[in-house]
Amino acid sequence: MARVFVSGSSTGLGLLAGKDLLAKGHDVIFHARTAARAENIRREVGDASSVVVGDISTVSGAMDLADQVGALGPVDAVIHNAGVGYGGSPRPTVDGFPDIFAVNVLAPYILTARISGAKRLVYLSSSMHRVSPNLHDILWRTRRWNGSLAYSESKFLVTALAFAVARLRPEVRANAVDPGWVPTRMGGGGAPDDLGKGCATQVALATSSEPAIAGLTGQYLYHMAVQQSDGNTRDASLQDQLLDLCQDLSGVSP
């Protein structure tokens, strides 16, 4: 049995992954942004599982959440599921960062750095990650806002983060997953991909004992199959720039 923390697991793919893990006999730490959403989790899964509550759109919130997880004891795996989609005007956090970057990139960086001991790390990417990010203006302070591009950049960067972790922590299995365009609140009811398949890869990477899955690290997967990510996500110098940027913005060492 594995102990798995799933960020952003009050709805959608995160909740589905958590329920699947429970059904397979694993111990799950769920995460909700608010107390009201935590109650939604408890209605769905009962009181047997742990639920941590916190807003990871802020540096202090992400650090506090990592501390809450740590206080519950060691975890075997983390699924970095929480994410913000695109649409509308930019939404700055109280730290002054676009929420797309704060939740999709900076929070996984902080949680990775602050939750110790997990040997399997799964990061949620997207097929939309194939762009060239502007690391000199990743906070959109000089560029004209483009929500779709900001989202794509965030998914490029979290994919590069997964590969950086795999490169720098050889004892850890770190991978990125494209769950597909699935009918969640973010994806919309008309999304064509299968919701069950959308979370199966994350669950397998976090817990499977099958060598073909358990041995993977530094890979990008879609529906249980290894795919090619954008080649620049594997650029070590870009990865290092990203780590330095996240450290500067958060004050948290990688």
pLDDT (tens digit, 9 = 90+) per residue, 93-116? 999 999 999 999 999 999 999 999
pLDDT (tens digit, 9 = 90+) per residue, 29-45? 999 999 999 999 999 99
Cβ(76)–Cβ(6) below 8 Å: no
- Does the active-site annotation cover 151? yes
**Residue that wins the pLDDT comparison between 190 and 102:** 102
Task: Identify the active-site residue in 155, 197, 220, 222.
Answer: 155
Strands (E), the chain: 3-6, 27-32, 50-53, 77-80, 120-124, 173-178, 220-222, 225-227
Q: Using CA atoms, how far apart are residues 179 and 181, in angstroms rounded to an integer?
A: 7
Reported pTM: 0.95
By the 10 Å C-beta count (0-12 exposed, 13-18 middle, 19+ buried), 73 is classed as exposed
Round the average pLDDT of the chain to a whole number and report it.
93
Bridge partner residues of 50 (DSSP): 29
Q: Using CA atoms, how far apart are residues 94 and 197, in angstroms rounded to an integer?
A: 35
Q: How do the domains of the chain map onto residue ranges?
A: 3-250
Determine the average pLDDT of the residues in 69-74.
Answer: 97
Q: Using CA atoms, how far apart are residues 177 and 215, in angstroms rounded to an integer?
A: 15
CA dihedral for 6, 177, 144, 235, sign (positive or negative): positive
- Does the active-site annotation cover 155? yes
Size of the chain in residues: 254
DSSP 229: P
Pick the CATH number of 3-250 from 3.40.1370.10, 2.40.37.10, 3.90.1150.10, 3.40.50.720: 3.40.50.720
DSSP helix/strand/coil, 2? coil
| Segments in 169-235 forming alpha helices (H) | 195-207, 211-214
By the 10 Å C-beta count (0-12 exposed, 13-18 middle, 19+ buried), 162 is classed as buried
**Structure confidence at residue 153 as a pLDDT band (50, 70, 90):** very high
Helix or strand holding residue 75 (H, E) = none
What percentage of the chain exceeds 70 in pLDDT? 93
Task: Identify the active-site residue in 19, 109, 123, 151.
Answer: 151
Q: Using CA atoms, how far apart are residues 219 and 204, in angstroms rounded to an integer?
A: 14
